[in-house]
């Protein structure tokens, strides 16, 4: 059948209906919105905001959030149509298989590893940073030695210390993988509790922090265009239009939660109704909070703070240094952020294991990835292999690098989802769609353009990483997947 053989919608739906062997349908629309917010509000807000301000846009990181939100809204409308029409585990991978064929599906599935697995590692590294803040500023004990909470490729600001392994990041990934194996519904309950606490903290920071905004920090809202070289020697587009696009690409990491919702389509009680609500609802709630939070944070602390001593645990640092009398809030933030990061990692691990599950069911990965636990009905072996992959990234790769890799992988996936809506409207116009993307092809085309602009803003180093990752994927596909594809080798 060739590289571009398509998997029929009827076959996808038939596989979904096999309830005895399939995944349990336990998630409601409310659970899905909570799942989305759990993924969206996390490292992107509490870590990547300061990083984007320091390296790319200064105070105009808020504009970067707006650009990222527009790209997400456009892609989200496309995701909502596809996830409600094709309620199967696997997210953009499954949609691509049905619309653009196996080879494109493989590319997007391989790319989704950047989004979920590398994304989970990014948040695990951020969790490690705030754990140290908890130990020193909340509990009052010694921090974990620099060598044991940073990758081998990182050194301290003065260059005197070098990392060996990030043990806290590895620990949290292991713990949450075991929870995920225990069951999706149980994981969602834990996540919902964390989400309530996390959103409350964000609102408190916005309300209390607003009066501490220093107008000096917003005096040059859009810095002049130039290049910033960080202390690791990596160049970044800073200021001007390119800086804002670069910031949008960096903080785009913060929005990937809403499409993680779509990976749970096969576990939703009423996917055709619940999926659009879960995706668009979680996106709408978080976008407003993001923009307000970024405005407050960049107003409280200076750009230099985020580049030096405030680089790690930036939110707690800003509160402790500038919000006099609110030390209690910094402590509360640290505890809530640790819980919040945990929920983000949980959703990303869920997304990655379900993508592995879907690819394995199609023969593109070994059958072990689709093995479902007899008792818990979860793809536990896919989760264990995800643990190995995520654990390696979390333990040995710097946070900024894996964060940007996640963003560019996500953006590329979103572009293909937008294209898939246009293709499916042409190839299967009569398919029942519970939710229809408005103004097709305008909305999908704009989604491709906005996401493409953010990829452009991330710079050539990230383009190169994406190309190398895709080349490795081609080797795996032609070396294994094409020969074992169930569609091409019935």
Whether residue 53 contacts residue 61, with contact meaning beta carbons closer than 8 Å, is answered with yes
What pLDDT is recorded for position 300? Answer: 96
pLDDT at 213: 96
Q: Enter the tokens of residue 234.
A: 């990596």
Asked if residue 91 lies in contact with residue 80, where contact means CB atoms within 8 angstroms, the answer is no
For residues 130 and 135, what is the distance between their CA atoms, to the nearest angstrom?
Answer: 9
* Domains, in order of start, for the chain: 25-482 (1.20.1740.10)
pLDDT, average across residues 110-127: 86
16: confidence class by pLDDT, cuts 50, 70, 90: low
pTM: 0.80
- Whether the per-residue pLDDT at 40 is higher than 90: the answer is no
* Interval 440-469: pLDDT, tens: 999 999 999 999 999 999 888 888 988 999
C-alpha torsion 64→68→69→75, nearest 10: 170
pLDDT, one tens digit per residue, over 298-342 is 999 999 999 988 877 788 899 999 999 998 999 888 888 887 788
- pLDDT of 18 > 60? The answer is no
**Percentage of the chain lying above the pLDDT 70 cut:** 89
Give residue 23's pLDDT: 58
Residue 162 phi/psi, 5-degree rounding, is -125, 140
Asked if residues 448 and 73 have their Cβ atoms less than 8 Å apart, the reply is no
d(CA 47, CA 60) in angstroms, rounded, equals: 16
Q: 24: burial class by Cβ within 10 Å (0-12, 13-18, 19+)?
A: middle
**Is the predicted pLDDT of residue 207 greater than 90, yes or no?**
yes
| Amino acid 477: pLDDT | 94
Residue-wise burial string across 9-20, b where 16 or more C-beta atoms lie within 10 A, e elsewhere: beebeebbeeee
pLDDT tens for residues 173-206? 999 988 888 765 555 666 667 777 778 888 999 9
pLDDT digits (tens, 9 = 90+) for 236-294: 889 999 999 999 998 887 787 666 666 566 677 777 677 778 777 888 888 888 899 99
Nearest CA-CA partner of 343 in 37, 112, 51, 49: 37
Task: Please indicate whether residue 21 or residue 478 has the higher confidence score (pLDDT).
Answer: 478
Residues 121 and 402: beta-carbon distance below 8 Å: yes
The predicted pLDDT at position 19 comes to 40
Q: Which of 327, 324, 401, 430 is nearest to 163 (CA)?
A: 401
The 10 Å CB-count burial string (b at 16+, else e) for 329-350 is bbbbbbebbbbbbbbbbbbbbb
Q: Work out the average pLDDT over 401-407.
A: 83
Q: Which of 26, 13, 28, 87 is nearest to 274 (CA)?
A: 28
Q: How confident is the model at residue 471 (pLDDT cuts 50, 70, 90)?
A: very high
- Show Cβ contacts of residue 42 under 8 Å, excluding neighbours closer than 6 positions: 123, 126, 198, 254, 257, 340, 341, 343, 344
Q: What does the block give as tokens for 453?
A: 């602009």
Distance between CA atoms of residues 448 and 428, nearest Å: 21
Q: Write the CB contacts of 110 (distance below 8 Å, at least 6 apart in sequence).
A: 469, 470, 473, 476, 477
Beta strands in 254-362 (DSSP E): none
Q: Nearest-CA neighbor of 455 among 444, 466, 445?
A: 466
Closest CA to 195 of 353, 39, 86, 304: 39
């Amino acid at each position: 059948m060739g590289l571009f053989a398509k998997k029929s919608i009827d076959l996808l739906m038939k596989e979904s209906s096999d309830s005895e062997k399939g995944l349990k349908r336990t998630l409601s629309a409310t659970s899905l919105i909570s799942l989305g917010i759990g993924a969206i509000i996390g490292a992107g807000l509490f870590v990547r905001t300061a990083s984007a301000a320091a390296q790319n846009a200064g105070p105009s990181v808020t504009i970067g959030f707006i650009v990222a939100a527009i790209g997400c809204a456009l892609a989200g409308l496309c995701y909502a149509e596809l996830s409600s029409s094709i309620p199967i585990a696997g997210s953009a991978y499954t949609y691509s298989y049905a619309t653009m064929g196996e080879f494109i599906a493989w590319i997007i599935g391989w790319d989704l590893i950047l989004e979920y697995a590398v994304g989970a590692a990014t948040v695990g590294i951020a969790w490690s940073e705030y754990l140290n803040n908890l130990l020193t500023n909340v509990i009052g004990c010694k921090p974990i030695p620099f060598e044991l909470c940073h990758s081998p490729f990182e050194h301290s600001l003065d260059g005197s210390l070098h990392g060996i392994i990030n043990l806290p990041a590895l620990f949290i990934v292991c713990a949450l993988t075991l929870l995920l194996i225990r069951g999706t519904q149980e994981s969602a309950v834990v996540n919902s509790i964390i989400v309530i606490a996390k959103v409350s903290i964000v609102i408190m920071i916005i309300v209390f922090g607003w009066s501490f905004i220093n107008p000096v920090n917003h005096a040059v809202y859009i810095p002049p265009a130039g290049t910033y070289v960080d202390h690791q020697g990596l160049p970044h587009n800073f200021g001007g239009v390119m800086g804002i696009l670069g910031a949008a690409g960096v903080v785009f990491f913060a929005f990937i939660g809403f499409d993680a919702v779509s990976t749970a389509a096969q576990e939703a009680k009423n996917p055709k109704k619940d999926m659009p609500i879960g995706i668009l609802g979680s996106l709408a709630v978080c976008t407003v909070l993001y923009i307000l939070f970024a405005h407050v944070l960049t107003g409280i602390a200076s750009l230099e703070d985020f580049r030096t001593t405030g680089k790690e645990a930036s939110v707690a640092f800003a509160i402790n240094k500038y919000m006099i009398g609110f030390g209690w809030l910094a402590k509360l933030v640290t505890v809530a952020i640790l819980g919040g990061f945990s929920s983000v990692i949980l959703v990303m691990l869920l997304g990655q294991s379900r993508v592995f599950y879907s690819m394995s069911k199609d023969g593109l990965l070994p059958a072990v990835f689709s093995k479902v636990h007899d008792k818990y009905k979860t793809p536990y072996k896919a989760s264990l292999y995800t643990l190995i992959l995520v654990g390696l990234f979390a333990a040995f790769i710097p946070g900024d690098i894996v964060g940007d890799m996640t963003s560019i992988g996500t953006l590329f996936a979103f572009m293909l989802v937008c294209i898939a809506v246009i293709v499916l409207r042409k190839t299967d116009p009569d398919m029942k769609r519970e939710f229809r993307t408005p103004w097709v092809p305008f909305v999908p085309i704009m989604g491709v353009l906005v996401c493409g602009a953010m990829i452009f803003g991330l710079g050539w180093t990230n383009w190169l990483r994406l190309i190398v990752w895709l080349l490795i994927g081609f080797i795996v596909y032609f070396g294994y997947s094409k020969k074992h594809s169930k569609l091409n080798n019935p």
